[in-house]
Each structure stands twice: as structure tokens, then as C-alpha cells.
Amino acid sequence: MIRKDDKGRIHLKLVFYGPSLGGKTTALRWLYGKVEGLQKGEFTAIEDETNRTLFFDYVPMSAGGRVLFDVFTVAGQKRHRHQRKVVLQGTDGILFVADSSPDQRDENTESFEELKLFLGDALGREIPIVVMLNKRDLPNRMSRDEMLDLLGLGGNVPIYETIAVQGVGVKRAFQAIAREVILKRMYK
Amino acid sequence: MSDPKAFDKILTDIIRQDKHIKKVILVDKTGLTIANVSKLSYYPVDVDSIGAIASAVFCASEEQGKNLQIGELEIVTSEFSEGKIFASACGKGVLCVVSDPEVNIGMVRLVMKKQGVQLADELDKFLAVEPLTPSDKDKEIDEEDLKSALAELERV
């Protein structure tokens, strides 16, 4: 459903989802700080004193006058499961940030399974998803194929290899999910 | 069709009930701010962020209530040294009131409960209109906006 505010602006909600410390907030902060073509509102972060997300980060972004993307991240730590469920309400698109570190293998799987549980059949159908394979600069990173097998992803989901701390691939992944969401709205 | 001014009228009625109420915001449960009014024309807050947090906090408390099986959530009150925030259920939305610390809490609760019913009705109309009966003209505008956003996105 397209949501409009009292000024007639169309809002689309995008959520960065994924395991703890995978790079969700880093990717959003990079978009916020480094991408000049997007108009951005204030960065809101509900985090603890060590900058770990407690609930969500939120930035409104705009590409064009009347279409706004409300971009959220979720708190990745396992105990914040209920907060993640709340943040997912009404989402129009998912950017799943997977961690390429081999010791995060189980965390990636658990997080993706949880996402499928929360969104059910809507994931990938009504709600587009783009996957970021993050931390591709790690020397011992898992291979792309290994990660896709791990997540059970075939060829129908856009995949981007990213290094969020350097911004590598982040803008392209964001453009991809924003494009998918808009196209879904236009042609559904 | 729901009149967007109806929200402003109800929110204005609420803000007039007590001189210590500074801001009233209506958000949906996805965090989108639908309407807001302030006592002062210049009140420098980022309404979209305040709305997103208010909605998320309310929904998180609702989830907590479900987990503990303690019934429906009616109101969340947050007390700060220099002000208070109230958030209450109103159908598909959340009504948020920001006040000075001296505000009459009983009055605020009463007003939020009473006006919450009216807001819930208006919200039902507002949220039901677009998906069910969009006029062709509205649809065109939406499509044009989406196309223009798509083009802008490619240029980023």
C-alpha cells in the first residue's frame, strides 16, 4: 500500500535487516554521509553507549520531489527479536546485510530464517529483497556461492558484494532495492 | 473520502485542552507521521523522527503486553525532568502528546481516550480510501511521481 502524508508525499519504507555487527548501521551511515544525490533528513539512532543499535536507526531520504524513502535498520542482537518485528511492520523492501566472516555462518542463517518467518510468503513477492554480501575485504571471507547456498538463495534475488566501511557497493545495493520497490508499486 | 483537515481539527482540539501541551502528533503503526500540530508555530523538532520513535515505542510496548498476556495497551507515559510524552492507541494509529512536566495527567489521559475514538474512525476512512477507490487522476499523479523518483534514483 502506498502511504501518503498530509503534504501528499508518498512514503516507501525500506529496512536494512541482518545479523548483529554485520554492517547495517555502517551502510546506512555511509549512505547518509557520503551520497550527495539523495536528499536526507536527520539521522535518528536508538543505540547504547557503545553505538550498538538497541531498536532502530532511521533516516528519511528522497529521490525526487514527492517520493520519500523511510529507511530503517534493525537491532541485530538476538535478544532484540521483538523490536525487529515491530520495525518490519509496513515495510516495502528489505536490504539483507549478510556477514562474510566464516564465524558468522550460523548468525546469517538464523537471521534470514527469522526474516522469512516474520514476513512469510510476502518476502520476495509483495516485498522485494536485495542481499548485500558485506565485508568482502576480509581475507578469510566465505565465497559468494557458499553464502548463497547458506541463505538458500537462487538466481532471482539481486546480490551485491559490499564493503560497508568503505562504501563499496552500498549505493548500488540501495538503488537496486529502491528501484525494485518503485517498480513493484508501479506495475503491481 | 476522509478530509485530511479532520485530523488537524481533532489534534487542535487536544492541544487546546491544557496550556502545558506543546505538541500533538498522529502516526500510523509503521512510523509514518500523518498529522501534527504545535502550540508554538516555531517548535524546532524533527516531527518525522519523533513520530517514528513514538510509534515504535508504542508498538514495542504492545508486543511486551502480548508476551506477558496482560491485555490491550491503552497508554504509554514517559516522564522526563522537563516534560512528558504520552502515546495512546487510536485504531490503526498512535496518538502522541508532548507536554511540560506540570501538565494535568488525568486531563490528558481523558482527552486522549475520548479523541482517540474519533481519530480511529477518521484513520479508518483515511487508510481505506486509497487502496479501494483511487481516482484515475490520483493514480496518474502517483505513477508520475514514481517515474520521476525512478529517474532521479538513476542519477544519484
Q: Residues of A with CB below 8 A from B33's CB?
A: 5
Q: Could you tell me the maximum CA-CA distance found in chain B, to the nearest angstrom?
A: 53
Could you tell me which chain A residue has the CA closest to the CA of B25? A6
How many Å lie between the alpha carbon of A174 and the closest alpha carbon of chain B?
A: 10
Question: Looking at A172-176, B60-64, B70-74, B111-115, which range is the least confident one?
Answer: B60-64
Q: What is the pLDDT of residues B8-64, one digit of tens each?
A: 999 999 999 999 999 999 998 888 888 999 987 667 788 888 888 888 899 889 888
**Helix H segments across chain B?**
4-15, 47-68, 105-132, 136-155
How does residue A88 score in pLDDT terms, banded at 50, 70 and 90?
A: very high
Contact (Cβ atoms closer than 8 angstroms) between residue A109 and residue A98 = no
Q: Residues of B with CB below 8 A from A172's CB?
A: none
Q: Name the interface residues of B facing A (CB cutoff 8 Å).
A: 4, 7-8, 28-35, 46, 48-49, 52-53, 56, 59-60, 63-64, 67, 130-131, 142-143, 145-156
Q: How many CB pairs under 8 A join A and B?
A: 112
The amino acid that residue B148 corresponds to is: S
Contact (Cβ atoms closer than 8 angstroms) between residue A135 and residue A161 = no
Q: Residues of B with CB below 8 A from A83's CB?
A: 56, 60
Closest listed residue to residue B112, CA positions, set B63, B76, B80: B76
> Which cell numbers in the block locate residue A44?
535518528
What contacts B23, CB < 8 A, 6 or more positions away?
B15, B36, B37, B38, B39, B43, B45, B50, B97, B98
Q: What does the angle CA B124 – CA B128 – CA B132 come to, to the nearest 5 degrees?
A: 165
What contacts B92, CB < 8 A, 6 or more positions away?
B28, B29, B120, B123, B124, B127
Q: Test B142 with A2 for CB contact under 8 angstroms.
A: yes
How does residue A155 score in pLDDT terms, banded at 50, 70 and 90?
A: confident
Q: Test A82 with B67 for CB contact under 8 angstroms.
A: yes
- Nearest CB among A6, A60, A179 relative to B34 is that of A6
Contact (Cβ atoms closer than 8 angstroms) between residue A73 and residue A56 = yes
Q: What is the pLDDT of residues B85-125, one digit of tens each?
A: 999 999 989 999 999 999 999 999 999 999 999 999 998 88
Pick the CATH number of B4-155 from 3.30.450.30, 3.30.420.40, 3.40.50.720, 1.10.10.10: 3.30.450.30
The amino acid that residue B98 corresponds to is: V
What B137-145 contacts at long range (C-beta under 8 Å, 24+ apart), as own/partner pairs, is: B142/A2, B142/A10, B142/A185, B143/A186, B145/A10, B145/A64, B145/A65, B145/A66, B145/A67
**Up-side HSE of residue B36: CA atoms within 13 Å toward CB?**
26
Q: Which of B1, B46, B143, B150 to mutate to test the interface with A (most CBs of A within 10 A)?
A: B150
Q: Test B31 with A66 for CB contact under 8 angstroms.
A: no
Average pLDDT of the residues in A65-70: 84
Secondary structure of residue A16 in the 3-state scheme:
strand
Size of chain B in residues: 156
Domains, chain A, ranges and CATH? 8-187 (3.40.50.300)
How many Å lie between the alpha carbon of A114 and the closest alpha carbon of chain B?
A: 17
Give the DSSP letter of residue B41.
S
> Which cell numbers in the block locate residue A29?
551511515
